Structure 1
Amino acid sequence: MIGAGIDVTRLRALAEYSHAVIARNQDIGGAYPAAPTFSAYQGYAWLRDGAFTAEGVSRYGDVASADRFHGWADRVLRGRRGQVDELVAAVARGERPEDAAMLPTRFTFDGGDGSDPWWDFQTDGYGTWLWSVVTHAGRHGLDLEQWRGGIDVAVDYLVTFWDRPCYDWWEEHVEQRHVATLGAIHGGLVAVAPYTSVDVLDVAERIRSLVVAEGMYDGHLTKWLGTSAVDGALPACVVPFGLVSGDAAAATLAAVARELDVDGGVHRFTADVFYGGGQWLLLSALLGWNLAVAGDTAGAWRHLRWIAGQATPDGDLPEQVPLHLLHPGSRDEWIARWGPVATPLLWSHGMYLILADELGILTAKA
């Protein structure tokens, strides 16, 4: 098995390096760049990527870095207060805003929209940020009121648009309602429920009921409502977002492992052609995180070691690696379009920190 001989000392060193990569690339305003050198990501920050990265940094003990990210997200969202008010008012009038009018999934470091076309309408990042900021504040005894403006904007946006089809985590299938997206919204609303006067728990229960009714097949969660396919993002609906538990959770983890996990590396989905459909480090960490929480420590270690085995000689973690490609014939066209795979990807490093913390090997704190 790849990485089986890597000892704990090296795994700890990679955690230290992961924190250093994230810290040195963080923008002065607090944003975490998705990838500092990758052509399509350079100069942009995602709430989804950043929220998971901030969770890893928070677990590592770098409270100041996570604070700066959450402060950035709060400022960005407060700057969208008028836009969200207009969108909510349009719905109240019986109108359906165009996708182009919705909040974006990625922002420039100063909180603006991108200058090039993107698959921008995605709601999961707003739920993920709510979960991340509440979790960070609880871990370190911080006052959430410092981020109140952004929290209120995210809550109003999600309560109004939680059930609207949008692009998924992978910028695909805008026509579908994606279970991982619904899970992220559910997790964010449940996390923030004690800190808002909005009845977010009613919406969270409606999400759960919808997914149970239409987003399950053979006992496990599915990629979107009404399909039998699975997706590597689905474990997030178990941990950390708590959309399902018990038998449904176990069946979902088993389905993802059975269909998408090869030797510890996890694919996004079986039809994935992006860079040939390789194995994603952050998804390996996500599944490992779930296994650790479920008590499968050996399984979690297997994923941590596999991730470490994919690091470059300098310690950088890429977005994906070309092992067990699902559609190898499509890899070259993406290299020609965007260049080599994003390396380092800060989300990969953040997820490594989360899994390392779950396994108790974060000894060097910021």
Structure 2
Amino acid sequence: MAATPRTDLRNVLDTSRALITTLQEPNGAYPASPSFSAYRGYCWLRDGAFIADGVSAVGAIDSATAFFDWCQRVIVRYEDRIGEIVAAAAAGDPLADEAMLPARFTFSGELGHDEWWDFQLDGYGTWLWAADAHARRHGLDPRRWRRGAELTVDYLLSSWQRPCFDWWEEHDEHVHISTLGCVAAGLRAAADGSLIGLDRASDARATADAVVDEILTRGVSDGHLVKWVGAKTVDASLSAVIAPLGVFASDSHITERTLAAVERELCVQDGVHRFRADTFYGGGRWPLLSCFLGLAHAARGDRERARQLLDWAVSTVSEEGTLPEQVDGHLLFPDRRAEWVERWGDVANPLLWSHAMVLRLAAQLDEFEHTPDVTEGQASA
């Protein structure tokens, strides 16, 4: 497809930053989508961490800092529960999935009352990684989030080997490779930065290495990362393990083979499906996944391919300037779309995660020229 004109790209980027920072709750929580029925009123640790990373990369310093402050408060609020989880795991009698921490919280940091596929570990690693990246990017002191980071590390050390739901709230019977990647990235960041003290750093670093060994031992087929332990196929979330999470070197053989598999199996005209068996809203292509794939290509030095993927993501913008969760066209299972529309209404639009990933990839490609707000820089110093 033809490159997006700079003026059109700039409009989408400016709208994306303004939308995210305007819709952010006063306490720092990011709504996944302000209008989509199943997401309304909730903030996900995973989505929120990637949203914060996106706005951090384009200079919205206070916005990202406020989100990590929110994470800190939420995690500390459940300190006693984390203690119970850690103690039970150490005793060899781990708590049931229903007693584990959820993937999403209400804006006020409470547990949700709606039935959901909640036990996911990826968000806990992702917020650690994103907080460290934000602090490094802007010269901030990450020790303001220390207690929340320490509790999160304890939680991950005790539970990282457990099967849980994946990024997409599916298949809790498996250990998912993108989840392990998020855990490894978070533990590495915590160990190598100042999020946690030295007393935990060595354990965090050793466990991060063990997680990577697990991925390489049980999460690879035909030279590429796979969807879950024992699988043969890929999931588009694996692109994030390469970039921005940086679990594997951009020039490694496993990176090359993984990106080739994602391109071959999941990418259609620069739009990226989640996985081949996806029936959610018929299995469309996700702008945020094109951006993750673009970040991985950019990390390998292929800026041209990264820009093509960014252009496709930007092309999904609505007349109102909003970006959706996924788009129609080239649906994997078109006969399954109607059941989801009947259940939850039209596809989520706007999805803040989509807007954030466009910002993040544009920043990586030096397409977002910005100067941090003076008040932001002063407030967060």
Checking the alignment, whether the CA contact within 8 Å between 1:12 and 1:363 is kept in structure 2 is no
Q: Which residue is equivalent to 1:86?
A: 84
* Equivalent-residue separation in structure 1 for 2:93 and 2:290 (angstroms): 41
Q: Which residue is equivalent to 1:184?
A: 182
* Equivalent-residue separation in structure 2 for 1:234 and 1:93 (angstroms): 33
User: C-alpha displacement at 1:242, in angstroms?
Assistant: 2.6
Q: Which residue is equivalent to 2:236?
A: 232
Q: 2:64 aligns with which of 63, 66, 76?
A: 66
Q: 1:133 aligns with which of 128, 131, 134?
A: 131
Q: Which residue is equivalent to 1:146?
A: 144
Q: Which residue is equivalent to 1:216?
A: 220
2:166 counterpart SS class: coil
User: C-alpha displacement at 1:351, in angstroms?
Assistant: 0.4
Instruction: Could you tell me which runs of 5 or more consecutive residues in structure 2 were left unpaired when the two chains were aligned.
Output: 374-381
Checking the alignment, whether the CA contact within 8 Å between 2:3 and 2:308 is kept in structure 1 is no
* Equivalent-residue separation in structure 2 for 1:283 and 1:319 (angstroms): 10
Structure 1 consecutive aligned stretches of length 4 or more whose deviation exceeds 6 Å: none
* Equivalent-residue separation in structure 1 for 2:308 and 2:301 (angstroms): 13
Checking the alignment, whether the CA contact within 8 Å between 1:48 and 1:125 is kept in structure 2 is yes
Write the letter of the residue equivalent to 1:59. Answer: A
* Equivalent-residue separation in structure 2 for 1:308 and 1:94 (angstroms): 49
* Equivalent-residue separation in structure 1 for 2:97 and 2:123 (angstroms): 16
Q: 1:175 aligns with which of 173, 176, 179?
A: 173
* Equivalent-residue separation in structure 1 for 2:100 and 2:246 (angstroms): 26
Instruction: Could you tell me which runs of 5 or more consecutive residues in structure 1 were left unpaired when the two chains were aligned.
Output: none
Write the letter of the residue equivalent to 2:164. Answer: C
Q: 1:295 aligns with which of 297, 301, 308?
A: 301
Q: Which residue is equivalent to 1:203?
A: 207
Q: Which residue is equivalent to 1:332?
A: 338
Write the letter of the residue equivalent to 2:276. Answer: T
User: C-alpha displacement at 1:6, in angstroms?
Assistant: 2.2
* Equivalent-residue separation in structure 1 for 2:4 and 2:93 (angstroms): 57
Checking the alignment, whether the CA contact within 8 Å between 1:80 and 1:153 is kept in structure 2 is no
User: C-alpha displacement at 1:241, in angstroms?
Assistant: 2.3
Alignment partner of 1:41 is 2:39: yes
* Equivalent-residue separation in structure 2 for 1:12 and 1:81 (angstroms): 43
* Equivalent-residue separation in structure 2 for 1:92 and 1:252 (angstroms): 35
Taking only aligned residues, the RMSD between alpha carbons, in angstroms, comes to: 0.9
* Structure 1 residues 251-262: aligned runs within 5 Å: 251-262=257-268
* Equivalent-residue separation in structure 2 for 1:329 and 1:350 (angstroms): 30
Q: How many residues align?
A: 364
User: C-alpha displacement at 1:277, in angstroms?
Assistant: 0.1
Q: Which residue is equivalent to 1:120?
A: 118
User: C-alpha displacement at 1:113, in angstroms?
Assistant: 0.8
* Structure 1 residues 12-31: aligned runs within 5 Å: 12-31=10-29
1:66 counterpart SS class: helix
Checking the alignment, whether the CA contact within 8 Å between 1:220 and 1:248 is kept in structure 2 is yes
2:144 counterpart SS class: helix
User: C-alpha displacement at 1:243, in angstroms?
Assistant: 2.6
User: C-alpha displacement at 1:361, in angstroms?
Assistant: 1.2
2:336 counterpart SS class: helix
Q: Which residue is equivalent to 2:354?
A: 348
User: C-alpha displacement at 1:238, in angstroms?
Assistant: 1.0
Q: Which residue is equivalent to 2:379?
A: none
2:43 counterpart SS class: strand
Alignment partner of 1:361 is 2:370: no
C-alpha change, 1:193 and 1:23, in structure 2 (3 Å) is: same
Q: Which residue is equivalent to 2:281?
A: 275
* Equivalent-residue separation in structure 2 for 1:158 and 1:6 (angstroms): 41
Checking the alignment, whether the CA contact within 8 Å between 1:268 and 1:280 is kept in structure 2 is yes
Cα-to-partner distance string for 1:21-62 (whole Å, 9 max, x where unaligned): 101110111000000000000000000000000001101101
Q: What is the TM-score of this pair, normalised by structure 2?
A: 0.94
Write the letter of the residue equivalent to 2:73. Answer: R
Q: Which moved more, 1:252-261 or 1:233-242?
A: 233-242
* Equivalent-residue separation in structure 1 for 2:170 and 2:91 (angstroms): 29
* Equivalent-residue separation in structure 1 for 2:64 and 2:217 (angstroms): 37
User: C-alpha displacement at 1:12, in angstroms?
Assistant: 1.7
* Equivalent-residue separation in structure 1 for 2:72 and 2:9 (angstroms): 33
Q: 2:73 aligns with which of 69, 72, 75?
A: 75
User: C-alpha displacement at 1:209, in angstroms?
Assistant: 1.0
Q: 1:263 aligns with which of 246, 252, 269?
A: 269
Checking the alignment, whether the CA contact within 8 Å between 1:57 and 1:353 is kept in structure 2 is yes
Checking the alignment, whether the CA contact within 8 Å between 1:16 and 1:364 is kept in structure 2 is no
Share of identical aligned residues, percent?
50
User: C-alpha displacement at 1:5, in angstroms?
Assistant: 4.7
* Equivalent-residue separation in structure 2 for 1:189 and 1:333 (angstroms): 39
2:105 counterpart SS class: strand
Checking the alignment, whether the CA contact within 8 Å between 2:281 and 2:337 is kept in structure 1 is yes
Alignment partner of 1:247 is 2:253: yes
